[in-house]
Amino acid sequence: MMNGVLTIALNGFRESRRNRVTSVLVVFALILVFSVTVSVEFTFSTFDRVMADFGLGVIGLVTPALALFLSTGLIPREIERRTIFMVVARPVSRSAFVIGRYLGNLFTVGFLLLVMAILFLAQLAIMYATTNFGTGIHAPHLVALYGLALEMVLLTAVAFTFATLSSQFVATLMATCVYFIGHMAEDLFNLAQRTKVVPFKLLGTGLYYLFPNFDRLDFKDRATYLDATPMGELATATAYTAAYTVIMLLIATAIFERRDFK
Amino acid sequence: MVSAVETSGLTKIYRLDLLSGGKRIVALDGLSLKIEAGHVLGVVGPNGAGKSTAIKLLLDLIRPTSGTALIFGKPPHEAAARRDVGYLPENPAPYEYLTGAEFVRLAAELSGLRGAERNRRVDEVLGQVQMGNFASVQIRRYSKGMVQRIALAQALVARPRLLILDEPTSGLDVLGRKLIREIVLTEKARGTSILLCSHIIPDVEALSEDIAILIGGKLVKAGPVTELLSHEGSEVELSFEGLGQAQVEGWPFTIVTAGRRLVGRCAASEAKALINRAHDLGATLVSMHPIRQTLEDTFLAAVKAQGQQVGSVIE
């Protein structure tokens, strides 16, 4: 099974590399990250904060967009174009197909994140070394990038789950909603605790526990102010992402196992 | 010896959504058939007869509403059951971003072939389907015939014991059809069991040992080609000189051409009596030969008997 998963994953990565839309997005993302340097030219003070905030903000915008775009379209497109026939008819289980496709997307988005991260960190280091602006690379920057990687892992799994049961349009809509609700999870929970209307309280609390809490994985603000994140919190965030991702993939494979490919 | 394919009461019913009236469509209705190891079964039927549905059930692409299917004794939902199966779908859709060689290599890897053996088999099948010169071209640049050949190559790459071919010659030119017929014959000689679905009945007749006729989701006829055709082929064609059209009026004799010679058909059992009657009228029998019933005749008769249906809405 592992060989099948890896073969499908590597093929998915190759598909993204040859996909023109992905290439355009990659170029766009790199230009955006590079524009951090330009933004500093218009800054009078706190260069380090502007660089970190702008750079991580751009990466935090591009990565989920790419994760959503790639993950929600893939399975509906395979079924619609019937390319899936010649893969699923092979001695490959459907769960291997789903996990392989998921990993293929992860490789793609992960590769892009890695390239953007290297460019961002290089800018911090070069700027510090050549002009003495900013503070160079610090642990909170790396933690923020790690948080973005966790967010990508989880968001891809959520988008994949929706894609196994609906069209690309519906899956994109649903996954985008989950992404934004997940980023407002803490606010929703606090609001639910303050309200006196019981149904709202229950709804807010329910949504908080049901939806993935992307706020837990967001360390960008701490990178801006160079605030340290305790190791325990990082470990919890990692375990939370792993558990939620496994649950999402189990749901995705369970749905996919029952589907008819007409 | 375990059968290559065995189905029992295989049924697939699709439920339409509420906007479409919530009706149920019986795409396949209680299909029971068997393909013995090393045999070629040709499945013919009009559009919507359930041929592709049956294939998809065998490959676990869709799940049956009821009934069972076994491939070499294993249910198709077990991945291991599909290890020995090569599948060429109708209007195949390979990954267009891959080259022909990459696509066949992908198929080989998914079937568990690795390293030197995989590379050797990929080269072999690309040569077999005469695509060696285009192996490094992206599939998006292929013609329809080339796509069909590369799809056949991926079906053959893992040396399957069962080949499932859905409309393998559709949309191909004469050379392409000839090549595919030759490959099927080669595989047949190698002992591969083959399930061949096609609209092109002469192809099915030429390549198959057994035939199944599906109409409206139901199996209406099945058996060895020779048996099916010999049962139906009980007519003879007679040619007389010195016999007029008016003279045979009322005889159990269907005129084919009338001129200097009167040519017509009758049941083989009636032939002797008709020849005697013609002789009594002074006519001479010029020729007599049995009418060979083609599969197409059998198929058309079956369709006529059933009334052509595209699925059957039962509710």
b/e sequence A46-67, b meaning 16+ C-beta within 10 Å: ebbbbbbbbbbebbbebbbbbb
Cβ-nearest to A11 among B59, B80, B106: B106
pLDDT at B310: 45
Cβ-nearest to A15 among B60, B91, B97: B97
Which residues are CB-contacts of A127 (< 8 A; sequence separation ≥ 6)? Answer: A37, A40, A47, A51, A133, A134
CA distance B105 to chain A (A): 10
Residue B265's DSSP bridge partners are B237, B254
The label of the residue with tokens 């059933």 reads: B306
pLDDT at B230: 62
Low-confidence ranges of chain B (pLDDT < 70): 20, 230-233, 307-315
Q: Where are the domains of chain B?
A: 92-159, 234-291
pLDDT in tens, A132-147: 666 788 899 999 999 9
How big is the CA angle at B151 (ends B150 and B154), to the nearest 5 degrees? 90
Give the helix, strand, coil percentages of chain B, each rounded to 5.
Answer: 35, 30, 35
Stretch A233-242: mean pLDDT, rounded? 95
CA distance B185 to B171: 20
pLDDT at B233: 55
pTM: 0.83
Contact (Cβ atoms closer than 8 angstroms) between residue B244 and residue B232:
no
pLDDT at A133: 65
- Regarding an ipTM greater than 0.95, the answer is no
A86–B107 C-beta distance less than 8 A = yes
pLDDT at B313: 44
pLDDT at B315: 41
Contact (Cβ atoms closer than 8 angstroms) between residue B243 and residue B283:
yes
B92–A18 C-beta distance less than 8 A = no
b/e sequence B12-28, b meaning 16+ C-beta within 10 Å: bbbeeeeeeeeebbbbb
Order the strands of the B66-71 sheet from edge to edge: B66-71, B5-15, B24-35, B312-313
Which chain A residues contact residue B114 at CB under 8 A?
A: 3
Stretch A239-261: mean pLDDT, rounded? 93
Q: How many residues does chain B have?
A: 315
pLDDT at A128: 78
Pick the closest to residue A248 from A170, A177, A159 (CA basis): A159
Order the strands of the B235-241 sheet from edge to edge: B254-258, B261-267, B235-241, B284-291
Cβ-nearest to A262 among B62, B102, B106: B62
| Residue A45 pLDDT level (bands cut at 50, 70, 90) | low
pLDDT in tens, A107-165: 999 998 998 899 888 888 887 787 766 678 889 999 999 999 999 999 999 999 999 98
Q: Where are the domains of chain A?
A: 2-258
Size of interface A-B (CB pairs under 8 A): 77
Averaged pLDDT of chain A: 87
Contact (Cβ atoms closer than 8 angstroms) between residue A214 and residue A179:
yes
pLDDT at A151: 95
Stretch A208-222: mean pLDDT, rounded? 89
A82–B89 C-beta distance less than 8 A = yes
pLDDT in tens, B115-164: 999 999 999 999 999 999 999 999 999 999 899 999 999 999 999 999 99
